[in-house]
Amino acid sequence: MSQVKVKVLINKSPLKVPVGTKTLDAVKLMAQNNVGSVLIVDGDKPVGIFTERDLLKAVAKGEDLNKPVEKLGTYGKLITIREDEPLSNAARLMHQYDIRHLVVVDGKDKVVGVISIRDIISEKHLLSAISAKPDEEWVGGD
């Protein structure tokens, strides 16, 4: 896994919502696109992330889902990883910060995507490495 780079997991642009978006609208966007997170942006600058885990916590606390998404998500302290870093670094960061999503940036700190723990554990090289049959072909999917 350490030789495989983070960028191999990026296959689409991240969903983005502007600061001030109602949380419920962000959740609807996530559901429509079958994703577990949205980036919160101020103009073009990423300033936060809202995830399924944030939604779960908000519902459990009885929060008003009409609140701005930045009030219920992670705001102002994004954990990022460069696209050319090994997947092992991504897994280490997720474990260290107890998070399930990482914002991926290029060499100029421009956002190129978001990866999830599911992306990492679904990575073909990882699945082959942990297989009881090393030559077994793994097919991705949930």
Set out the domains of the chain in order of their start, with CATH numbers: 6-130 (3.10.580.10)
Summarised one tens digit per residue, pLDDT across range 1-53 is 447 899 999 988 899 999 999 999 999 999 999 999 999 999 888 899 999 99
Kindly report the pTM of this predicted structure. Answer: 0.79
Angle at 21 between CA 66 and CA 69, to 5 degrees: 65
Give how far Cα 15 sits from Cα of 39, 53, 68, 95, 107, Å.
6, 16, 16, 24, 21
Q: Where are the alpha helices (DSSP H) in 67-137?
A: 69-72, 87-97, 117-121, 124-130
Summarised one tens digit per residue, pLDDT across range 78-132 is 899 999 999 889 999 999 999 999 999 998 888 999 999 888 887 665 555 555 5
